[in-house]
Each structure stands twice: as C-alpha cells, then as structure tokens.
Amino acid sequence: MPAKTDATKLVSLYRVIKTIRTVENSLTRLFADSEVPGFIHLSVGQEAIAAGVCAALSSQDTLATTHRGHGHVLARGLSLEHFFKEVMGKAGGVCGGRGGSMHVADMDIGILGANGIVGAGIPIALGSAIAHQVRETGGIAVAFFGDGAMAEGVLHETLNMAALWKLPLLLVCENNGWSEFSPTSKQFAAALQDLAAAFKIRYAKVDGNDVQAVTEAADATVALLRQGDGPAVLECITQRVRGHYEGDPQKYRAADEIASLSADDPVTRTEALLRKHGVKADEIERIGAEIDTQIEAAISAARADTEPTYEAAQRDVYTVAA
C-alpha cells in the first residue's frame, strides 16, 4: 500500500494545481483579448485530478487527453513557454503553433496528444498500452476522458480489448456532471462502475477535488498495473466551473449551482490541507507569487515569438520528390 501523502508531496502537488489554475485564468484574459486563436476549453475546478494522477507516473509512461486537457499536459511536465506558444499559435510552440489548445502533444514526455473529438484519446491510449506490453517497457498508458465520453463506442471497445489482453491501461474519468450543455444523466443511462464490472475491470471512485484522495488512489492503481494486474478505471467526481467552452454563457445551468462551486474548490481545499500539515500561509503565498512570475514570463516569450510560416506547415503535409 502506497504511503500516505506527506507535507513535502502536498507542496509539490499544490504547485501543480496552482500552476494549472493560474494558467487557465491567464488564458481567460488572453482569449478575451483575442491573443488565443480558436476555441479553448478550460479545466478550472478539475486541477486536482491532473496533479494527482500525473504524480503517479514515471518517465516511460504515456497519456492521451481531451479537448479540456491543459491541466494534464502541464501536470505531465510540458514547459510553460512551449505551452503558451502553442496555444497562442506561435512557431515556437511544442507543435509549431499548429496544434493549438485542443491538440497539444509532446512525445518526448509521453504526451500522445489532446483531442478535439470526444473519446478519441481513449483508443490512442489503448494502442500505447499494447506497445508497452509488447515492448516490455514497464510503462503504463493513461487515458483521460470526461463523463460525456461514457456513451462513446470506443470506450466500450477499449474496455473489452484491455480486459481481454490485461493491458497496462488506466482509464481516468473526470466526471464533472456535464456533457457539453446537457447533464450526463440525460445522455447516458448506465453507471461507469457497472460498465467496468461488465468487463471485470478494477474500478475505484474518488473525490476528484481532494488531491490527497486522487494521489493515493492513483498510486495504488498504478502500482498494480505495473505488476501486470490491469487494466483499471478511476472515476474522479469533480466540477466544471467555466462553461463548455470559454465564452459559453451557461444559460442551461442554474445560477445557484454556479454560485456554490467555490465551496468545493480544489485550490482552496489543498491550501487548507497544507496548513493542516504545518505549511505556513506566507510559504503558500510565496509559491503563488513564484508561479505568477513564471507564467507572465512565458506569456511574454510567446508574445515575442514569430508566427508559423506556410512553408513550414507544408513540409509536414507534402513530400517533394527529388
């Protein structure tokens, strides 16, 4: 059984959570100022899941994420400068500025990519899990998906194949209760726990806003997967603070529900946990100030970067015969 999360690890987790939150808040401003092209889907309120799950991963592991995947790639270790350049469509971005918010990928650190299609990252992670098993890398693959993907056929097919072949695959559901503009209960009749049971796959459910609970569940599950006892499903109950996309007025959502979200905020909950473990308020503030400085520097670097050229994009599409 993995050790309980101590103060040192909690500080590390808090840095990740606070970084994700500050990045997402910065993107709100940048998007409003037209400095971010296209749409963005923010993960405000879901940061503890990214931090807790990615803390359990090793360098050989891989992950695939969703259109709401900023937190996952940052928790995995994507640099702030490469991230902002990518989301702001600059040439120095991790994908040359051509992937943008919904298609961030970095194979050097095992990020197989975010995906604009609901559920599309799940079979990608499945393929990676097969590769880990065949190549005996000792690694695992992680698929992050939202509860809106529970009705997608690729999830059911992936559960079947992963169970048959006992693959090192961790399926992490960020259940925020919404599938775009509809409550998940109105578009999926089953429960994820029952779906996992149908394929005889291990299942665990945690409070996704409790970073300690997420971390300990992820540590325990990943340890079993590395022993060949896979696959597994981890359902994290959380909340979506912002709309489906940035700028979504959320008229379909009750005002009192939105107003109550701050009571279960993972940032403030983690800060309270830090204080309980003896971390002083001024240290928590210092961490926040450091993160602010790092993010502002990354944004400045992105603003100063060049735009991608058509010729560079063309080289990734066509091969010119000699």
- Tokens 């599938």 map to which residue? 179
- Give me the sign of the Cα torsion angle 127, 133, 135, 138: positive
Looking up residue 244, the CATH number of its domain turns out to be: 3.40.50.970
Among 29-38, 108-117, 248-257, whose mean pLDDT is lowest?
248-257
Residue 200 lies in a domain: yes
Q: Encoding tokens for residue 173?
A: 């559901």
Q: Is pLDDT above 50 for 1?
A: no
The predicted structure's pLDDT at residue 33: 93
Lowest mean pLDDT among 44-58, 119-133, 147-161, 243-257: 243-257
Q: Phi, psi (5° rounding) for residue 25?
A: -65, -35
- Number of domain units in the chain: 1
Contact 104, 319 (CB under 8 A): no
73-99 per-position pLDDT tens digit: 999 999 999 999 999 999 999 999 989
Does residue 320 form part of some domain?
Answer: no
Over residues 95-143, the pLDDT tens digits come to 999 899 999 999 999 999 999 888 999 999 999 999 999 999 999 999 9
- Answer yes or no: is 1 within a domain: no
Does any domain span residue 35?
A: yes
Is residue 99 included in any domain, yes or no?
A: yes
**Residue 36 or 248, more confident:** 36
Instruction: Inform me whether the pLDDT recorded for 2 exceeds 60.
Output: no
Residue 322 lies in a domain: no
Query: Phi then psi for 192, rounded to 5 degrees?
Result: -60, -35
pLDDT at site 273: 94
Tell me, yes or no, whether 321 lies in a domain.
no
Q: What is the 3-state secondary structure (H, E, C) of the chain?
A: CCCCCCHHHHHHHHHHHHHHHHHHHHHHHHHHCCCCCCCCCCCCCCHHHHHHHHCCCCCCCEEECCCCCHHHHHHHCCCHHHHHHHHCCCCCCCCCCCCCHHHCCEHHHCEEECCCCCCCHHHHHHHHHHHHHHHCCCCCEEEEEEHHHCCCHHHHHHHHHHHHHCCCEEEEEEECCEECCEEHHHCCCCCHHHHHHHCCCEEEEEECCCHHHHHHHHHHHHHHHHCCCCCEEEEEECCCCCCCCCCCCCCCCCHHHHHHHHHHCHHHHHHHHHHHCCCCHHHHHHHHHHHHHHHHHHHHHHHHCCCCCHHHHHHCCCCCCC
Q: What is the dihedral of CA 46, 48, 49, 51, to 10 degrees?
A: 130
Mean pLDDT (whole number) for 254-280:
88
Q: Which domain holds residue 83?
A: 7-315
Q: Is residue 2 part of a domain?
A: no
Whose structure tokens read 């779906």?
195
The pLDDT value recorded for residue 248 is: 73
pTM: 0.92
pLDDT 10s digits, 197-242: 999 999 999 999 999 999 999 999 999 999 999 899 999 999 988 8
Question: Residue holding tokens 């300690």?
Answer: 212
pLDDT at 315: 77
